Structure 1
Amino acid sequence: MELSFIFIIAVAVALFMGLNIGGNNAAASMGAAYGAKARTKYQAVLLIGVFSVLGAVLSGGEVIKTLGSGILPPGTILLEGAVVAVAASGITVFLANLLRVPISTSQAAVGAVVGIGFFYGASGINVAKLEYIISWWIITPILAWLLAYLMGKYLYTHILIWLADHHESDASIRKSLT
């Protein structure tokens, strides 16, 4: 079987995007644990790898459907357009990684899909779906800030006390309670 040039490019672009997703999302998911010395770099990378694959397999399907046919009508984007969209989002995330700025890879992917849709002249952009997605981009950081504050205020001390009671050897926990 002879591999087509576009297939080889598609695989290379997908690998590039995956590499940049790993770099961006690894920091977001384990940066705090690594910074607090709760996990070594090896442990963090291993956990990220295992659970990223599990997450993609178990819950990634619905997001894939949204990107593939929820924003633009099915069949709007051809293989070449998909390669361009993945490359554009990959380059965006790559630049953010170089600048050490955590960004949403989902926002980059959605932006690239919409961009290629405009290139194709797609008047069929599902504006309601796009508005719904953008509303979550606004709600998500606010919700995360609120949850972190409330959890810190109402759960943090209780968790530290529980840890101190169950892990006698960790003096740093007891020290943080005083």
Structure 2
Amino acid sequence: MAALLLAVGVLVAAFVGYNIGGSSTGVAFGPAVGSRVVSKFGAAALMAVFALLGGWTIGRNVIDTMGGEIVPSSEFTLPASVAVLFFVGVALLVSNRYGVPASTSMTAVGSIAGLGAATGTLRMATMGRIVSAWVVAPVLAFWVCAVVGRYAYPYLDAFFRLDVPEDGLLVWRDTGRVSYPVGTNDDATPRQFLAAFLVVAIGCYMAFSAGASNAANAVAPLVGGGFLSASVGVLLAGAAIALGAFTIARRTLDTVGNDLTDLPLLAALIVEVVSASLITVLSVLGIPASLAVSATMCIVGLGWGRATRTVRANDALSGEGRAPMAMGSLAAERADDPRDVPRIGEEDPEELAAADLFDPAAVGRVVILWVLTPSVAAAASFALFTLAGILG
């Protein structure tokens, strides 16, 4: 019976990792695939390698936290481990069903916290540290990108001019299932090849941070309970993430269905660097956190900061001006030279507010579900393990 239950636990863990690979590949390599720098197969291969690398190195810190610091490792009996993973799997199913990216890290922590609350073993100091990071990281993501958007973005856009030819840098041959490059576009410039390198390199960095943070979501309960070693757990999570990257992620990459690819290329790279750096630092500290939450707040911050260039800080403080709130400013026409960038307070508000980057109502719905999903997971976990304690 125990062997069967362990097999179920491994299958649920693999299901969680499979869905992580499917969603994270689009976030990491959507810009690269959308600009035809790499193929979907190449994106999946890079995701598999760098997610495993992230999980194998600093991802172990997150496994240690989730597998023994939120509640003692002794609480992760085999039934409890399977139940925690079940809640994470259900959250993924719901998020996929309704097209809302639920945070697997937050859901997993909520499920473990419910277990600890029901058994009286929840370590509040650890939970306080994790929840504090959940609050601080999105705020920090917003303000870092807001500062970049207000003071640096138009100059970086004019200086680097990161773009690629509409028909791509490479000439591709499609065999039906796999595309591979057979030459380069004669119209491509060295600057555009530099842009392509940056897109791929930062996508790999994003994949590394996703693996570092998310490997624990799939296997921490099983590792914490001693049913798998940390190394075997990371390999299981890495294999499942790779499977998701090579299968269901292809549909995401077909439509380039993630928020980052709605941005200009430079903006997408800034969002990826800042959000991936935050998650990597938190993973080093052993704190599970949501890459999707940080990335979304980066998008909002970058667009808002760019839009505020129509107003000087002194005018805003004195009430003589008001910064626009529309996020379409990132798509505003770039200057041909950094020296031609208008100064703060001299830009045209109509140009910076020309289009919306995102739907505020949709963002509000996503944020509510980010809060609601781990809360529901914690409540359901608490109810289940309380009932199990009564019946046991």
**Same fold at TM > 0.5:** yes
Distance 1:29 1:103 in 2: 17
Equivalent position of 1:167 in the other structure: 191
2:149 aligned with 1:125: no
Specify whether residues 13 and 110 from structure 1 end up closer, same or farther in structure 2 by C-alpha distance, changes over 3 A only.
Answer: same
* Alignment counterpart, residue 139 of structure 2, candidates 142, 151, 161: 142
Correspondence 1:61 to 2:60? yes
The aligned amino acid for 2:77 is L
Contact 2:154 2:335 in 1 (8 A): no
Q: CA deviation at 1:159?
A: 5.9
C-alpha RMSD of matched pairs (Å): 3.0
Give the CA deviation at 1:150: 2.7
* Structure 1 position 23, deviation (Å): 2.4
What displacement does 1:140 show? Answer: 1.6
User: Residue deviations 1:105-135, cap 9 Å, x none?
Assistant: 11011011112333xx321211111111111
Q: Which moved more, 1:95-104 or 1:123-132?
A: 95-104
Structure 2: segments with no counterpart, 5+ residues: 163-188, 196-263, 266-332, 337-392
Shift of 1:47: 2.4
Q: How many residues align?
A: 172
1:26 deviates by 2.6
For structure 1, the residue ranges without an aligned partner over 5 or more in a row are none
Residue 18 (structure 1) shift: 0.8
Q: How does 1:145-156 map to 2 (within 5 A)?
A: 145-152=142-149, 153-155=151-153
Mapped partners of 2:112, 2:78: distance in 1 = 12
> Could you tell me which residue of structure 2 aligns to residue 109 of structure 1?
108
The yes-or-no answer on 1:157 pairing with 2:181 is no
Mapped contact 1:23–1:97 kept (Cα < 8 A): no
Q: C-alpha deviations, 1:84-106, integer Å up to 9, x for none?
A: 10111121122112222123211
1:94 maps to 2:118: no
Give the secondary structure class of the aligned counterpart of 1:75.
helix
- Structure 1's 167 and 123: CA in aligned 2 closer, same or farther, altered over 3 A? same
Displacement of 1:64 in angstroms is 0.4
Contact 1:77 1:117 in 2 (8 A): no
Is residue 154–residue 334 contact of structure 2 (8 Å, CA) maintained in 1? Answer: no
Query: Match for 1:70: what amino acid?
Result: E
- Higher mean Cα deviation, 132-141 or 42-51? 42-51
Q: Which has the higher helix share?
A: 1
State the identity %.
28
Change (3 A) 1:91 1:135: same
Which stretch has the larger CA shift, 40-49 or 10-19? 40-49
Larger Rg: 2
How do residues 24-43 of structure 1 correspond to structure 2 at under 5 angstroms?
A: 24-35=23-34, 39-43=38-42
Change (3 A) 1:60 1:76: same
- Report the TM-score when normalising by structure 2: 0.39
Paired position in structure 1 for 2:44: 45
Bigger drift between 101-110 and 29-38 goes to 29-38
| Displacement after TM superposition at 1:34 (Å) | 4.3
SS in 2 for 1:4: helix
Relative to structure 1, is the Cα distance of residues 31 and 140 closer, same or farther in structure 2, using a 3 angstrom cutoff? Answer: farther
